Structure 1
Amino acid sequence: MTTTTRDLASRLLGGTVVAASDEAFGDKENLLNPGPVNFVPGSYSARGEIVDGWETRRRRRAGDDWAVVRLGAPGVIRCIDVDTTSFTGNQPVDCRIEACGIEGYPGPEELEDADWQEIVAVSPLSPDQSNHFTVDNPTRFTHVRLTIRPDGGVGRLRIHGETVPDPRDFDYGAQDLASQMCGGLVVDSSDEFYSTAESLNRPDLARSMGEGWETRRSRDQSPDWVVIRLASRAHIHGVVVDTAHFRYNASASVSVHGADWTGGDASAWSPLLPITKLQPDTRHTFWLNQTGAEAIQSSVTHIRLDAFPDGGLSRLRVIGTPDARGRLSLGLSWWNSLPQSQLGQVLTGMGVAESVAHELAERRSLLGDDVNAVSAELDSYPVAARRLLLGIPG
């Protein structure tokens, strides 16, 4: 049902357009609007016809136009959609796309000197349609640069990929491990008649009933359900079930179960939250150590929420802490996919000599999910590197 990729640049995940060479006719921010292009011909402002996209002036000198995007969720890019919908005579001739990985929150000037890698070579663009480009690069990127030639308009830019979270973010307390920001993924659901279950683990708050998960009216005794793969194997401390905006069709009650599917093997579901009554238009927080649930100390990789008998939910948060195996998996995915320049930034910033940092980058990729085996393999690594990979002092 569900793809493993998402739009890493989406404004819903916090993506933004950092800078652009020109935006005379259409604002650069339009590139990341979550909805489809909605152009209404015949509307004008002092800048010209009002467009729903990024459009530059007619170029009279040699050169190209460009826009730099900071991904809301850094990750491995699989496909890019340069959507020229509504641009029928003013679309660019072609485009080129580069990406980089860099620490912190650099501004436009710092990004000029970043280690940009070409991920889509110069390719023609067709007018008034999505232009899809497959990306074959296993590197984790934080920023993307779209260059259009020589000028023109692009309605939307979608950067589809797989989230690779920064493992350091999990070392300072519990996180919402179901969130798309962390790499949580809706695997399956019983019903998506009115709206998709993928809304449930968005990191933002729903602004209307239309931004939640709503099923058709049930006529049998079975509850509706959704299964979410968590960002890592983890101990679950609590869940947040939000029925915001669902006044007359909220689910009456829910239960939550967890399972450890490590290695792809589906284990039996264990109870985390028993059937619990909900109120409409309300954000409910349930701490599992206060419910009498038996399995809260067990590690799980997936959770299943059952909604009785049907109805609507706006968001689901799963508050947890990665266990040792889960934290190692997060560390390895991040370590192995970092651009070499960013890994050098990380290590030298933690006091590792530049020559040692370079050697460690050359020794990748590390494999395995056995904490003890990998710990032994890391005996020769500096304390800082072990800390990054394992999440514990070396």
Structure 2
Amino acid sequence: MAEESGQEKTEEPTAKRLRDAKEKGDIARSKELATTVLLLSAAAAAMMFGGQVADAMAGMMRFNFSLDRQSVMDPALMFTHLGFSLSEALKSLFGFFLVLLVAAFVGPVALGGWNLSMKAMAPKLSRIDPLAGIKRMFSLKALIELFKALAKFLVVGSLSFLVLLVSKQELFSLGAQDVFPAMSHATEIVIWAFLVMSLTMILISLVDVPFQIYDYTQKLKMTLQEVKDEMKNTEGKPEVKGRIRQLQREISQRKMMSAVPEADVVITNPTHYAVALKYDQSGGGAPFLVAKGADFVALKIREIADAHEVPVLSSPALARAIYHSTEVEEEIPAGLFKAVAEVLAYVFQLKRHKQRQGPAPIDISPDLDIPSELQKDE
């Protein structure tokens, strides 16, 4: 797409792009790191279990070179002999193989983590396409892999030659030693030589891992248009998002309107704003807003309040202050407690008077105490 549109891939891959690539099995991997982990684990296992293996092999040699004529001529005894030898060999190598098994699982996922992708396992005809194979053979990545192979050969080969040069005298001296001491000494030389040569892979991995991460990021980079298209597909077109927001507002408004009949009082501007308050006397909290609106919504709140005999009081300053400072289902600010308390006291006295349980209330003051920071002119 970048080539067709003429745009360069300058944008970092998005989270969705990375997630989609991972689902397809496309993640950053380093074969050199996996090889390094395997070789170093093998060297460590050889150092831990090398002596045990050498002793077991020496014991097997003694056992196998001390056969009598009767055992050699009896096939049944020879099979028993072979089974015992194989059993002892496997026992001595069990720890070594166990370490290698763990390293074989850990090494490949050391970079990129564990990822099981069914899409990656699905058969693809493009993998057996000869033209695609030839193209991969002469690609930049193939050239880089060739240089890496040559570098490994030169580094490991040079160090191997150096190790042999340093160990020359010890290797020559093995011929003058008895068999079993020579075997133990030779095992020690091989293990240390193998460890030193394995350590060289760390240098190669230190170069390969950052390169693989960089190459993977470059491969997944996006054009600006791709980022825009992804955002559009992910979040939806503007008109769709607008419709969703409209539906959300309508749902919220219907819920808000259904709470108006339960309100204790509706305070109005009187025409521009309307706020409905409720006070739970048993809960001990502050009065809270159950509905608010301006213009047409304010008119609808007043109509519902009148239909359900909810008291409607005109207090422009208080209505504006509550409308601008409080959201639906929130408690009113502490600065409005006194003014709202006067309104609620009037409303509760009015209810008791209508029920013939008390005298008529005194009208509330038109100049309620509204803090200056909560006052609104419109």
Pair in the same fold by TM > 0.5: no
With structure 1 as the length reference, what TM-score do the two structures score?
0.16
With structure 2 as the length reference, what TM-score do the two structures score?
0.17
Structure with the larger helix share: 2
Structure with the larger strand share: 1
